[in-house]
Chains A and B, each alone.
Chain A
């Protein structure tokens, strides 16, 4: 009887999983292999792909746009993620201890995260940092005449960094949920042992939420590597001025869908995936040294 029902379940499972199977095959696995193949070809969508060995990868080394894209994306990730997570943690700590109006603050700080990747907010950012925008006018009160940040290659990337930091609300909400899990007794015990506020923070709070910090770090880093919309709208799709906002995904888009150089674009995409996989793996390895998963 039990055996019959088990067989029955197995058969049913395959019916339930039909959409998933089709998706895995047609939307994920086949395209993944196809793009791996295309990465070693010259292909412009009209003619048939022509195998060209490692040419695409060799080309990358010579390609100043590729290096510009790598630099822009790396700077963006390295600067904006620590700032964003720092703000998120700081605000979560301030809000954590039984403050009235928590729900209001949480919603207010979370709102930018919802809107941050929209075209509308990118348009807004163009105006804020553009000629005579909010920032330009604000700084001129202090005698600083920087003009449009968007036209200035040394400032344009920072507008996008500010935009990413502005969306600290979603990691903050995750931090808040994590801080709730820290047992009150531990603070009491630390207090009895004579630990002050700072000690409680460094010896109790931080160790116990390292898994949440790690989780946020991975999630936000992977997301930041794939930033596209903001860069596209801010620079009008060019990645300018002087390639200063040429995000990696924007460059893939330009090569694949504007130049229809799909072989090269596939190679670029695989390098991106390799980089993300590598960085995630490194994070996991390093996590052994700083992430605390309880006594078990």
Chain B
């Protein structure tokens, strides 16, 4: 009896000690990681703090906490260019929403055909889609520009939106094909027996079940399009058509007049939609990258 208890106790103490040791190691880990998080996010925190400081304090006051808080940078920055940022935000919104609709429409149609329908050369099509993911856009952009300029479509949103409606973001096709493959085929067969053709099967059976893939596509299309700079820079020539990144860039060019504080304030505002999306959709985002390697 006594021997039993002692052996039990001695078995418990090392376990406890190990747990305590692990607890202490975790505290150290958390301290280290916390410091690293702070270092990583410090630039962003500095941007927020600086946007709230009057211009003369930004580069002279080293600390994060402003000795004087002002919202002037936001008010003045909003109107620093010839047009208020409202215009650029609306432009970005039009382009972003258009791109999302385009990608959802074209990529889901394509993915359904590639994942579910039987036809010759299906494998070849799938291979083409995968290879086109790796194709650098810089090889295509010059002829595309010439093409659009011949139809007098430079300085419109067509060059930005048309490719999205033509299933050219192959990443999302790949993502959706992978997802559709996880949906049981029995559901298609049941629909077929009930007399549904491919279109009705797609619309009423597969599309509703694809929701997670559609959500991921929406999130990434939003973030990529919102941040996109190269394509709008090339096609949008008049300031009234500028999206937010192009407008911000033109503000840099006139930095001497607009001042650092305004630049910070407008940069921060331009990131807000992405930050909000991130806050709301973190889980899907992380899952999306983990499963497909999207950025």
CB of A150 within 8 Å of the partner chain: no
> Cβ of B230 and Cβ of A229 under 8 Å apart?
yes
Identify which of B66-74, B93-101, B127-135, B209-217 touches chain A.
B127-135
Q: How far is the CB of B284 from chain A (nearest CB, A)?
A: 12
Residues on A with beta carbons closer than 8 Å to the beta carbon of B252: 123, 126, 233, 236
Interface membership of A222, Cβ < 8 A = yes
A-contacting residues, B154-194, CB 8 Å: 162-163, 165-168, 173, 192
Q: A120 within 8 Å of B by Cβ?
A: yes
In the complex, what residue of chain A is closest to B288 when comparing beta carbons?
A: A173
Residue on B nearest A273 in the bound complex, by CB: B139
CA of A30 to CA of B291 in the docked complex: distance in angstroms? Answer: 32
The verdict on B24 contacting chain A, using a C-beta distance below 8 Å, is no
Cα–Cα distance between A128 and B42 once the two chains are bound (Å): 11
For A27, the chain B residues whose CB sits under 8 A away are 140, 144, 162-163, 166, 168
Pick from B166, B245, B268: contact of A119, CB below 8 A. Answer: B245
A105 touches B37 (CB 8 A): yes
CA–CA, A249 to B50, complex, Å?
32
Number of interface residues of A (CB under 8 A): 92
Chain B hits for A105, CB < 8 A: 33, 37
Q: Is B81 an interface residue (CB 8 A)?
A: no
Q: Nearest B residue to A276 by beta-carbon distance?
A: B136
Number of A-B contacts (CB under 8 A): 255
Evaluate contact between B41 and A16: CB separation under 8 angstroms. no
* Contact between B40 and A112, CB atoms less than 8 A apart: yes
CA distance A30 to B142 in the complex (A): 12
Binds B, one of A75-83, A185-193, A264-272, A286-294: A264-272
* B125 pairs with A17, CB closer than 8 A: yes
Instruction: Confirm or deny: B205 has a beta carbon within 8 angstroms of a beta carbon on chain A.
Output: no
Report if A282 contacts B (CB, 8 A). no
Neighbour of B120 across the interface among A10, A123, A236, A269, CB < 8 A: A10
B239 CB, min distance to chain A CBs, angstroms: 15
Please tell me which one of the listed residues B26, B249, B290 contacts residue A233 in the complex, with CB atoms under 8 A apart. B249
Number of interface residues of B (CB under 8 A): 89
B117 within 8 A of A: yes
Given A27-B168, A114-B223: A19 and B260 interface contact (C-beta under 8 Å): no
Question: Chain B, 243-269, contact with A by CB distance < 8 Å: what is the 0/1 string?
Answer: 001101100110000001001100110
Main secondary structure of the interface of A (DSSP, over half): helix
Query: Which chain A residues border B141 with CB–CB below 8 Å?
Result: 31, 256, 269
Once A5-B192, A101-B30, A137-B62 are accepted as A-B contacts, the answer to whether A35 and B142 lie under 8 Å apart by CB is yes
Q: Do residues A118 and B271 form an inter-chain contact, with CB atoms below 8 A?
A: yes
Chain A 110-124 residues near chain B, CB threshold 8 A: 110-115, 117-121, 123-124
- Residue of A9, A112, A177 near B117 (CB, 8 A) is A9
Contact A272 B136 (CB under 8 A): yes
Shortest CB–CB separation between residue B205 and chain A, in angstroms? 14
Contact at A114–B278, with CB atoms within 8 Å?
Answer: yes
- In the assembled complex, which residues on chain A have CB atoms less than 8 Å from the CB atom of B146? 34, 45, 262
- Beta-carbon contact of B138 and A226 below 8 Å: yes
Contact (A174, B289) CB under 8 Å given A16-B112, A107-B282: yes
Q: For the complex, give the distance between the alpha carbons of A288 and B30 in Å.
A: 38
**B168 contacts A13, C-beta separation under 8 Å:** no
Query: Is the Cβ of A10 less than 8 Å from the Cβ of B117?
Result: yes
Not counting A111-B41, A119-B267, A249-B138, a sample of 13 additional A-B residue pairs whose C-beta atoms are within 8 angstroms of each other reads A14-B119, A24-B128, A27-B168, A31-B142, A107-B286, A118-B245, A119-B245, A219-B293, A252-B138, A262-B146, A266-B142, A266-B143, A273-B135
Q: Can you offer 6 A-B residue contacts whose CB atoms are under 8 A?
A: A16-B112, A16-B117, A23-B163, A105-B33, A123-B252, A256-B145
Give B contacts to A, CB under 8 Å: 26, 29-30, 33, 36-37, 40-44, 46-47, 50, 59-60, 62, 105-106, 109-110, 112-113, 117-120, 122, 125, 128-129, 132, 134-147, 149, 162-163, 165-168, 173, 192, 197-199, 202, 223, 227, 229-230, 233-234, 245-246, 248-249, 252-253, 260, 263-264, 267-268, 270-271, 274, 278, 282, 285-286, 289-291, 293-295
